[in-house]
Each structure stands twice: as structure tokens, then as C-alpha cells.
A = this chain, B = another copy of it.
Amino acid sequence: MVTTRRTGLREQKKQATREALSAAALRLALERGPDNVRVDDIAEAVGVSPRTYNNYFSSREQAIIAAVTSEREARVAAAVAERPDGVGLATAVIEAIVDLYTDPGEPGRDALLLITTRPALREAFVDTTSAIEHPLTDAIAGRLGDVDPHTPRVLAASVAAAVRVAVEQWLRTTAASFTAGGLVVPSGSLPDLLRTMLAPLTPALDAAEQRARRRRR
């Protein structure tokens, strides 16, 4: 039997405590509001020392956010890779990312509402966009047949940056619609924003693909 790489029980328990910690963090934050949650509380809820807590997370925000965005990092690579070779790199990447963000990582709407409300959490949420960079680099390199290692890195970084801009914009407008008591999101849904922000990068992705294809024959 093939263990999921590396020793089994060890990684398994690690993953378990990690999830327990972030779950507890989210639960407590929802119950009492994020400002009334001490690191000690989270640690105690899981039955682990505070010091151990911060071996896993180096900020409360990280722990809370992780409950919502944990597997995104892992899903990106698969999402891009599974697109048929027929479709272009640009559309493959764009559709994969849109999928990634439309299917809610799922737990609850209230979690997202909590995140979009509190500034510290919003910031942490924006920061998670950079987590897709490395998986994306590999996925793009796979599609390009990695002739030059730099191009995939730059493209992945740019895509991640565009995603960040989209999320920032989304947060900005949703915040505005909350405070202003507006009815619906003025500037569009997150998927729409993602498409809008990723569109300007299409030429770069296409060009890289053409270069790679030309080089391959």
C-alpha cells in the first residue's frame, strides 16, 4: 500500500490537529466574535498547548481562514490539469480558477460573512490568493512542457496577482454595499470579477503557449 507519501500516522495526526485547530478557531470566532477569542482558548478547545497552536498557525486570522480555504491550494493543480489538452492554456487556467472560487469551499455563509466583515480577516483572506501560486506554477509548467522554468513562474505569479486584485475589488464593493445599505453587489459577482481581471492576461498565456508549441516541433 502506498502511504500518501512520507510516514502515515504522523502526517495524519498532524493534519487532524491542524483541522481541529482551524475548526475550533472558526467556531469560537462565530460564537463570540473574533475579538473575544484568545489563542489560549483555541488551544484549550483542542486540548493542545498554546505553543503547539502556533506551530501550526502564526496568527489567529490564519487559523480561522484556513477552515474555509484549506484545500484550495491542492485543488488548483488538479483543476488545471484535468482540463482537456484541446482547450487553450488561458481558458484552462481561467475556468479552473473560476470553478475554484465559485464552488464555495463550503462550510457556511456566515463564515464568509464574518470574513468579509472584519478587516483583519479580510486582509488574511486576500493573502490566501498567493497560496495558489506554486501549484499553478507546476500546472502551467506541465502544460507548457517546461522548457524554460521562469515563464511558468511569472505567469503563475501574474495570475495569482490578478486573482488577488479581483478579490480585493470584490471585498471593496461588498463592504460598500454593506455600509451603504445597498441592495446588491454593484460591480458584479466574484466569478465575473475573476474573468474580468484575468482577461488582460490572456495574451500572455497564449503567447507562452504558442512559443512552447513552436518549440516542441
Contacts and interface: CB of A to CB of B under 8 A. Distances in A.
Nearest to A158: B158
Contacts of A157: 158, 161-162, 164-165
A201 interface: yes
Given A158-B162, A162-B154, A200 B196 contact: no
A200 B160 contact: no
A158 B196 contact: no
Assembly stoichiometry (copies): 2
A72 interface: no
A162 B153 CA distance: 8
Name the prevailing secondary structure of the A interface residues: helix
B200 A203 contact: no
Given A153-B197, A203-B206, 4 more contacts: A154-B165, A157-B161, A157-B162, A157-B164
Most B CB within 10 A of own CB, among A169, A196, A207: A207
Interface in A141-165: 150-151, 153-155, 157-158, 160-162, 164-165
B200 A208 contact: yes
A154 B197 contact: yes
A155 B198 CA distance: 10
27 contacts: A150-B169, A150-B197, A150-B200, A151-B200, A153-B165, A153-B197, A154-B162, A154-B197, A154-B198, A154-B200, A154-B201, A155-B200, A157-B158, A157-B161, A157-B162, A158-B161, A158-B162, A158-B204, A160-B161, A200-B204, A200-B207, A201-B204, A202-B204, A202-B207, A203-B204, A203-B207, A204-B204
Contacts of A162: 154, 157-158
Nearest to A201: B204
A150 to B, nearest CB: 6
Contacts of A161: 154, 157-158, 160-161
Interface string A87-105: 0000000000000000000
